[in-house]
Structures are given as structure tokens and as C-alpha cells.
Amino acid sequence: MTSYLSSRARIGLAGTVAEAASSPLEISRQLAWTRREFLRTAAGVTLGGALLHFSPTARAQARPIKRRKVIVVTFGGGARDQETFAPEGQENIPHLMKELIPQSTFFARVVNRGILGHYVATASLATGVYETINNFASLPPEHPTAFEYFRKDLKRPSADTWVVAPSNGFNRIGESSNRSYGQGLGARVILPKHLLTAAKSGNADYAHLLRDNYETPFYTPQLGGGEFELQQLETILKLSAADFRAHALTLSSPDELSLYIVRQLMREQAPSLLWITMHDIDIAHAGTYSLYIEGIRRTDRLCGELWKTIQSEPEYAGKTTLFILPDFGRDSDEDAGGNGFQHHRTGDVLSRTTWMMALGGGMREGVIYDRPLDSTDLVPTLGAMMGFSASQSEGKPIAELL
């Protein structure tokens, strides 16, 4: 029978979330609770539910900021609690734990009810609707993206919103196929690997920065790279191909390359809405636990570096809200239908239940909420913060951030 129907666990595994909870809802609640408790003890954050109930200052803290900027980071291709927020995992995320979470409003229970493939899930985050497009096809989202709402409602130019993403499929994420929005109204998308492909020359070894689609490790999509990319380098990022090549040689992963491009974009274009998709963690699909852990540690470090960049760039310091959230988790060890950390194929509760943090720009600091949110709540929240209407989104604005 299918893996769902056979090899089911016949004994409980002591101490697991799955054993303690009896239904998917209960497992999700339990997961959020344990994540909350880990954070309360390790990062010293306060329980937001209690604050909201008792404190007169508990109402919205996101003070109106003229020309607020928002940066959204999707945390690297899915990581599980036991390698991140659980006690044994916290050593892998020192920057999140010690630097970012104490400054954040943290949501411990963000549920993704959609398809758990990276492109389609990221597209769902960007539209606020659970998209059903083929994860591996080069297709635009079917519903308007946050970038389109932002530009159309606020009449912003194309240079004011950018997406920096890995190459596989994400080149279409900037604008939807929706007739009322779509072409010409979306974000400009930069694919650092395409840039590097266009810029590289000679025999220098850039291969480590051109890693491919991890979800199907043996499939390598063709990387383009040409005149347009070189033009992007020189006119938009103000980088010569030679400088770009030289700097790329000092980097160790595709996500590091992405952060380098992001910094350059922030400095040269200062977009108001910037979306960064990290992907290194997804090496987990190759089944190598050590590389998966390395990916988490690197992503944690890069998030810390991004936050420092925000503080040091005059266009961003003091008026930027940074959102960090995974697109989804990964399969639990307890589900016999999966193979633990390697994939996100079972659709189990743990692979659907993730977290989100929001910091900067007036967000309340060191507060944690464990009420359930939906992945699709992000876009209407961005809309409420920035002043656009996410009219087709299925989500709801997150009151605790407004």
C-alpha cells in the first residue's frame, strides 16, 4: 500500500509531540505551545496573549511611519523545530535567539494549509491565496501579489519593489497572471545565479554558488544569463561584472550571494518593499543531515547580517519592518510516511505549522503569540501596514501588528 497505509508505528515514541497530542489540531496547538515555552525560557520573551488582555498598552504598537519600508525573508526552505527552536536546536540559530527574537513580535503558530512545494508556497505567501500552480513549472501566480497591490494602489514605480530569489521557477513570482493586475505592475525580480552566470568568465570556480533545485536534486534547470542580467548589474546595482565576479569568489553559498545582491539593492535602489527567498536549507532533500544543519546555521547568520544592514543603511534605519518566516516546515521523524528532515511530502501537522517574527518599525519587542495564524495572513497585514488593499487575499490582517 502507499506509505500512508503501511509501516505505521505500532508503539509510541516517548516524549514526542505526536504522542502527547491526539488530533492534528491538538498537535498544532501543542507544537506552538512548546515553541512558545522554549522561547520564553531561552530568549526571555513575554507571552503576548496575557499582555493583550491585561495591559493598557497592549493595543497596536506599529506607529504610523511615513514611507515605511518592509522586508520579507522566507527562511530558507523549511526547517523543523528540533533543529531550531527546541532546546537541542537552539545552538543552530544563535542570531535569531539572541539578537532578533528579543526585538520581535513572534508568532509561534503559523499554519500553511496549501501545497508544500517551495515555489508554490512562496507564491501563496506573496498573494495571500493558496496558489495551486505547478510547483516545477515556470508559471506566474494566479492571484495578485503584494507587489502588484503595492504598486497599483500606491502608484509606486517598478524600482520600489524587488524580489531576490533562487533561480528555480521564482523568476515569475514578481507578478501574477491576474487580468486586473499582472504585466507591468509587479516587482522586479533578480535572480543572483542568473547574474553570476552572465558575469562569470574564465575558469574561476563559482560552482558552489550555482547550486540547483534541491527538491529534485538530480534535476538541473538551465540557467540563463545574458545582456539583460549584465545591464541589471551595471545600471541598477552599480556593479561592474569584474567586481561582482571578484566578490562572488569570497562567498560560500547561493544565499550568501543573494544577501550580497540585497545589500547592493538596498544601497542603490532602496526599495520600499523587498522580498528575499532563502533556499540553502533545502539541501536537506539530498538526505545529508550535516548539510541541512549547515544550511540552518548559515541562514540564521544571514538573517542577523541583514538586520544589521537595515540598521546601518540610512534609507532603512528606524523605518523598516523585517518579517522572517519559513514557507513551511519539514516532515516529522514520527511520521512513517516520510523520511524525517529530508522532505516535506507527508503534509503532516508539523510540516505545516511554522512561525513568523516581525521586528523593527515600531513592532512590539520580545512578545510571543501562540494563537493560530494562517500563512495567507501576511499579505493583508503588509497591506494594512503600507496602505494598500489586498482585495483578493484570503487572509486577515494580523491585529497584533497593527
Specify the residue, 13 or 402, whose C-beta has the smaller distance to other proteins: 13
Binding residues for other proteins, rule: CB under 8 A, are 1-2, 4-11, 13-15, 24, 88, 113-116, 130, 132, 136-137, 207-208, 210-213, 215-220, 283, 285-291, 293, 333-334, 336, 339-343, 346-347
Specify the residue, 24 or 102, whose C-beta has the smaller distance to other proteins: 24
Specify the residue, 248 or 306, whose C-beta has the smaller distance to other proteins: 248
Residue 379 near residue 149 (C-beta atoms within 8 A) = yes
Burial class of residue 59 in the structure, from the number of CB atoms within 10 Å of its CB (0-12 exposed, 13-18 middle, 19+ buried) = exposed
Burial class of residue 41 in the structure, from the number of CB atoms within 10 Å of its CB (0-12 exposed, 13-18 middle, 19+ buried) = exposed
CB of 114 to other proteins, least distance (A): 8
Specify the residue, 15 or 314, whose C-beta has the smaller distance to other proteins: 15
CB of 382 to other proteins, least distance (A): 24
Specify the residue, 30 or 288, whose C-beta has the smaller distance to other proteins: 288
Describe the crossing of helices 289-312 and 254-268 by its angle, rounded to 10 degrees: 10
CB of 201 to other proteins, least distance (A): 18
CB of 354 to other proteins, least distance (A): 17
CB of 336 to other proteins, least distance (A): 5
Specify the residue, 136 or 153, whose C-beta has the smaller distance to other proteins: 136
End-to-end alpha carbon distance in the chain: 49
Alpha carbon separation from 322 to 84, 187, 216, 308 (Å, rounded):
19, 18, 30, 11
- φ, ψ for residue 189, nearest 5 deg: -110, 130
Rounded Cα gap, residues 273 and 27, in angstroms:
35
CB of 244 to other proteins, least distance (A): 19
